[in-house]
Amino acid sequence: MKLSNYFLPVLKETPADAEIISHKFMLRAGMISQSSSGIYSWLPLGLRVLKKIENIVREEQNAAGVNEILMPTIQPADIWKESGRYDDYGKEMLRINDRQDREMLYGPTNEEQVADIFRRSIKSYKELPSLLYHIQWKFRDELRPRFGVMRGREFLMKDAYSFDLDEDTSRVSYNKFFVCYLKTFERLGLRAIPIAAETGPIGGDMSHEFVIISETGESDIFYDKRILDLLDVDQELDYTKDLRSIVSSYQALYAAADDKYSKDEFEKKVPIEFQNNSKGIEVGHIFNFSTKYSEPMKANVLNSNGKAVSVHMGSYGIGISRLVGAIIEASHDENGIIWPEAVAPFTVGLVNLKSRDTEAIAVCENIYNTLNQAGIEVLYDDKDDSPGAKFSRMDLIGLPKQIIFGNNSLKDQMIEIKDRKTSHTEKVKISDLAGKLITSK
Ligand code: ATP
Ligand code: MG
């Protein structure tokens, strides 16, 4: 992509209404544009990141054997009346009447919708487990939308649902998602801690929030620091194996948010040198709610005795749009964003500091084409701006590698590669560049 042809409305000034760093940088880097409170348009740079995250999440769901579907954003109120949640959900739900005056709503989540699909389609225990997911926009009329995409009203979520015959088998599904989430967040370059979460009247231990440590987080978490050492997951995971031991190794170490935290238990279970308390951002939540929705909605199957039983359901969310902000919170410096390679909008920024020199332009065009052909995603700054403006823009948008074609590059046929994260620079021969970047990929 050439910058001269790219819609990248970078702002010099920090917008006054942005409170936290990720929101500031997302606005300044031209990633999003606010439509109304908590509702955003995604501009090219932001959309590329959103899609990268979405794809990693999708690949990992697929690897775990979850089936992708796509449910609508607009749902009929009837199914929510059946589950008993229509009134409970309150003002967070955006309610709409269609022209026939039927009650509809913009989905804040999809348990009812997916239970309705399930009960129409699956009749026998032999077809279980059923694992379904979709990646779809949600709407929640949050009381206080803030922090940009972190707490929006319209936001993109991956939500998955499991259907099993009984508690034991639903635990197998739960463990699959638990492990799949560990892998997913690791691929995104994040260290997300699974913490025990509230299960309410359902009880049990099958509810975890995945939280990344950050000062700007809204959750207050207490955890055993040794849990961080567990976070390097084997990426060659076999989902057909029993995953209990992996999940138990996390559950054995204390980690809870303030709503579940008990001072006594924390101090008793965690040696003082490993006790930690910090703010965190919730990026995912997995929850087994047993037959809470299947019972009222009559999502039944026939068991091996031919008896109709309510299926055990679980739901598993990842905040895809929130992750864009969360990743920035976890990875930036005073000059801008530092994208982890896996989600970077482009891998390389090619900066031509001699953008009026026809010879330099020809060489840069050549480099640009070579990198593209090698499958390296490159944003080529071919604009006629000052070196200072070019450097600060590149730092702000945070591409992992900058390639700088400078004043001496024509003469010595050398070009500089700068690592955005470490600021380490290295000079390489222009002819060696593509090879060099491919091997470091
Ligand atoms: P929170 O406590 O932050 O409001 P939640 O418990 O309501 O989250 P879930 O219903 O479990 O969230 O939704 C699954 C995931 O969707 C969350 O882990 C979070 O990453 C994301 N999410 C929830 N609400 C929002 C929002 N308003 N804006 C952006 N992402 C959100
Ligand atoms: Mg919420």
Atom of ligand 1 nearest to the CA of 318: 15
160 shares a domain with 91: yes
- Residue span of the structural domain in which 404 resides: 346-439
350 shares a domain with 333: no
352 shares a domain with 210: no
391 shares a domain with 296: no
HSE at residue 172, side-chain half, CA atoms within 13 A, is 15
Distance 107 CA to ligand 1 centre (A): 13
DSSP 161-216: EEEESSHHHHHHHHHHHHHHHHHHHHHTT--EEEEE---GGG-SS-EEEEEEE-TT
Read off the CATH number of the domain in which 149 is found: 3.30.930.10
CA nearest ligand 1 atom 19, residue = 319
358 shares a domain with 289: no
233 shares a domain with 178: yes
97-123 as b/e, with b when 16 or more CB fall inside 10 Å?
eeeeeeebbbbbbbbbbbbbbbbeebe
Domain C-terminal end among 337, 361, 389: 337
Amino acid in position 310: S
Atom of ligand 1 nearest to the CA of 140: 27
Distance 119 CA to ligand 1 centre (A): 27
Domain C-terminal end among 284, 314, 337: 337
Cα–Cα distance between 408 and 386 in angstroms, integer? 17
78 shares a domain with 23: yes
Token code pair at residue 61: 């769901």
141 shares a domain with 18: yes
Residue 134 contacts residue 68 (beta carbons within 8 Å) = yes
365 shares a domain with 297: no
Domain count within the chain = 2
CA nearest ligand 1 atom 11, residue = 285
Smallest CA-to-CA distance from 130 within 172, 84, 179 is with 172
DSSP 371-440: HHHTT--EEEE-----HHHHHHHHHHHT-SEEEEE-TTHHHH-EEEEEETTT--EEEEEGGGHHHHHHHT
CA nearest ligand 1 atom 22, residue = 319
Ligand 1 pocket by C-beta < 6 Å: which residues? Answer: 109, 140, 142, 151-152, 155, 157, 282-285, 317, 319, 321-322
Distance 440 CA to ligand 2 centre (A): 40
Cα–Cα distance between 283 and 189 in angstroms, integer? 13
pLDDT in tens, the chain (441 residues): 999 999 999 998 888 889 999 999 999 999 999 999 999 999 999 999 999 999 999 999 999 999 999 999 999 999 999 999 999 999 999 999 999 999 999 999 999 999 999 999 999 999 999 999 999 999 999 999 999 999 999 999 999 999 999 999 999 999 999 999 999 999 999 999 999 998 888 888 899 999 999 999 999 999 999 999 988 776 678 899 999 999 999 999 999 998 889 999 999 999 999 999 999 999 999 999 999 999 999 999 999 999 999 999 999 999 999 999 999 999 999 999 999 999 999 999 999 999 999 999 999 999 999 999 999 999 999 999 999 999 999 999 999 999 999 999 999 999 999 999 999 999 999 999 888 887 765
Nearest ligand, CA 219: 1
CA nearest ligand 1 atom 23, residue = 319
Non-local (6+) Cβ contacts of 78 within 8 A are 103
Atom of ligand 1 nearest to the CA of 108: 10
Read off the CATH number of the domain in which 431 is found: 3.40.50.800
400 shares a domain with 266: no
Smallest CA-to-CA distance from 119 within 288, 300, 296, 289 is with 300
Q: Pick from 112, 151, 285 the residue to mutate for probing ligand 1's pocket: most ligand atoms within 8 Å of its CB.
A: 285
363 shares a domain with 233: no
CA nearest ligand 1 atom 8, residue = 282
123 shares a domain with 232: yes
Distance 77 CA to ligand 1 centre (A): 21
Domain C-terminal end among 337, 359, 383: 337
Cα–Cα distance between 440 and 421 in angstroms, integer? 15
